[in-house]
Amino acid sequence: MKLDLLTTLNADRAARRAVILLTDTETGAQRLIREAEIDQSDRPDLYRALIRAGRSRALKDEEGGGFANVMVPPAKLVLIGAVHISQALVPMARQLGYDVTVVDPRTAFATPERFPDVELLAEWPDDVLPDLGVDRWTAFCALTHDPKIDDPGLIHALRRDCFYIGALGSRKTHARRVERLTEAGLDAATIARIHAPIGLAVGAQSPAEIAVAILAQITGALRLAPEAA
């Protein structure tokens, strides 16, 4: 690999930007497809699909041939609320490869006994989220039912283009949330990115079932094309 190509690749990976390294298996020639440049590329639909899948593979002749080495950042999951649903979500999400962080200032809930072996921050979201690197490769869930805790987290996530944002609560609860976020200066299109009520509508009842519904919705947001999610 040429030095300038390697330098660009390493810089993108360090900045948590997705890239595709295309290799012509006959000539050895290589080029990078950066996520931010896909719209101007020769095969935008193909490259978007490769990044959504997150898997390297050989390309068919009609796809241009050669090999696509797909490099995407490890996905993060930030949970606002050390609640029963989060207790079920953490081990499931970690099995799927997510880097999980739980944030809740309520020290009675945010205890190592309830959340072993996971990054647990018993702090206000306003204080800790700026240092967590919340970004395009982050799924964000607000689960406390407490606007003082959930709303600042949601505002932070919406401003950082998380690929998934969900919030617990009924439709009435979310209507009041929309009013608060509007008063905070967010426009309707931005607020509409919140999945609320959170999770797929599968009739989930227990915390574990709700966790499954949430992770299924997160998976769809990560893997499916926007029109299919």
pLDDT tens per residue across span 97-156: 999 999 999 999 999 999 999 999 999 999 999 999 999 999 999 999 999 999 999 999
> What pLDDT is stored for residue 2 in this prediction?
81
Each residue's pLDDT tens digit, 20-64: 999 999 999 999 999 989 999 999 999 999 999 999 999 999 999
**What pLDDT score was predicted for residue 146?**
95
Question: Residue 64 gets which letter from DSSP?
Answer: T
Q: Name all domains of the chain by residue range, CATH numbers in brackets.
A: 3-71 (no CATH), 76-223 (3.40.50.720)
Pairwise CA distance, residues 99 & 119, whole Å: 9
Which residue type is seen at 90? Answer: V
The whole-chain average pLDDT of the chain stands at: 94
- Is pLDDT above 90 for 228? no
Paired tokens of 115: 């959340």
Token match 């607020």: residue? 191
> 52: number of CA atoms within 13 Å, CB side?
18
- Sheet with 57-58, edge to edge strand ranges: 30-34, 19-23, 67-71, 57-58
CB 190 within 8 A of CB 178: no
Q: Are strands 138-142 and 76-80 parallel, antiparallel or unpaired?
A: parallel
